[in-house]
């Protein structure tokens, strides 16, 4: 890379860190006049181009004299959805320029965090109970931004607040688990990940999860041929089979009763040829795992455990063989 290009890129990256792809693009356009062959320059330029449309929409919103709660919410939602699109865009690139990727991430999530911070100040004035879910969502999204910026303590504070407002939401618990794992506290991460993927796998946005623990598990599940929503239901199954979801907790009597009722309902549903077996089978398998763990912890009669093992074998023999090893 030429010295002039290198120095110019530093200036462009600074603009990207500040969330200003328009100025970054102007710098890059001038650099192309002297260096058309730089892969780093081309990569950074593609990052800028991707963000220009989003930035224009946000700027139009910012020019309004007075912005409402919904305006801030709209801006924040745009940024989070665009980040997922950006990740898909990056996955197609053969070459990666890490400084540009870091700069875009910092600028993007710093900008998004400003929107969610404003939302937090606005939502304190709202007392309608119907907004409880939205309040929790704001704190969750702010937590995601802090996490992406490397401020894990603030991230956990926001995510814990989201969980206090709307307890036991899978999407919040998964993000909280991710924070713990990123801080090296895998034990807590495993407990919360297992809980989250048991409650509602489909509601978890895996695109925002970063810890090595969950990334390994997601990739392992994809290697087995699963993708999309179906893949998310198989994640907790392979979490058990790979001995990642190996931290167990006691179930309350109410939880055990509800678990057995859900299993009974799913078993009946599975008898219907028109049922969605792609999702139903992993849900049943995971429920069987939870029930076996309960029986083991309570030192129940082996007959009960063997009955569940037989059901697993009939449902999926390969899962059964891996499970009993």
pLDDT digits (tens, 9 = 90+) for 96-138: 999 999 999 999 999 899 889 988 877 655 556 567 888 899 9
Q: Tokens standing for 117?
A: 């911070």
* Of 151, 146, 81, the residue nearest 116 (C-alpha): 146
- 149 and 106 Cβ atoms separated by less than 8 Å: yes
**Is the pLDDT reported for residue 28 higher than 50?**
yes
- Closest to 245 measured CA to CA, from 175, 321, 188: 188
Higher model confidence: residue 36 or residue 226?
A: 226
Q: What is the mean pLDDT of the chain?
A: 90
Is residue 322 scored above 50 in pLDDT?
A: yes
**Percentage above 90 pLDDT, the chain:** 70
Q: How confident is the model at residue 1 (pLDDT cuts 50, 70, 90)?
A: low
Smallest CA-to-CA distance from 173 within 207, 204, 138, 132 is with 204
What token pair was written down for 288?
């069987």
| SS3 state at 156 | helix
pLDDT band per the 50, 70, 90 thresholds, residue 66: very low
φ and ψ at residue 292, rounded to 5 degrees: -60, -45
SS3 content of the chain, % helix, strand, coil (to 5): 80, 0, 20
Phi, psi of 237 (to 5 degrees): -65, -50
Q: How far apart are CA 295 and CA 305, in angstroms?
A: 7
């Amino acid at each position: 890379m030429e010295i002039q290009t290198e120095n110019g890129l530093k200036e462009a990256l600074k603009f990207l860190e500040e969330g200003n792809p328009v100025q970054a693009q102007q710098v890059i356009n001038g650099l192309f006049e002297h260096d058309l062959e730089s892969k780093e320059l081309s990569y950074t330029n593609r990052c800028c181009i991707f963000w220009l449309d989003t930035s224009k929409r946000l700027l139009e919103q910012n020019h309004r004299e007075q912005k409402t709660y919904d305006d801030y919410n709209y801006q924040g939602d745009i940024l989070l959805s665009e980040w997922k699109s950006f990740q898909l865009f990056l996955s197609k690139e053969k070459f990666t320029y890490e400084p540009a990727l870091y700069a875009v991430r910092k600028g993007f999530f710093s900008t998004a965090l400003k929107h969610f911070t404003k939302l937090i100040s606005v939502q304190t004035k709202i007392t309608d109970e119907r907004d409880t879910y939205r309040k929790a969502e704001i704190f969750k999204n702010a937590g995601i931004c802090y996490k992406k910026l490397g401020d894990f303590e603030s991230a956990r504070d926001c995510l814990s607040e989201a969980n206090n407002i709307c307890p036991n939401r899978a999407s919040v618990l998964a993000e909280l688990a991710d924070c713990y794992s990123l801080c090296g506290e895998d034990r807590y991460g495993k407990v919360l990940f297992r809980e989250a993927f048991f409650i509602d796998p489909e509601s978890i946005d895996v695109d925002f999860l970063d810890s090595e623990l969950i990334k390994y598990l997601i990739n392992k599940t994809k290697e087995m041929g699963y993708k999309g929503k179906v893949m998310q239901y198989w994640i907790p199954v392979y979490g058990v089979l790979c001995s990642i979801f190996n931290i167990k907790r006691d179930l309350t009597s109410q939880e055990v009763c509800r678990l057995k009722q859900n299993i009974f309902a799913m078993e009946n549903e599975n008898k219907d040829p028109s049922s969605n077996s792609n999702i139903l089978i992993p849900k049943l398998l995971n429920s069987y795992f939870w029930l076996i763990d309960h029986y083991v912890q309570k030192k129940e009669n082996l007959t009960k455990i063997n009955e569940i093992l037989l059901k697993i074998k009939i449902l999926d023999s390969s899962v059964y063989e891996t499970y009993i090893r």
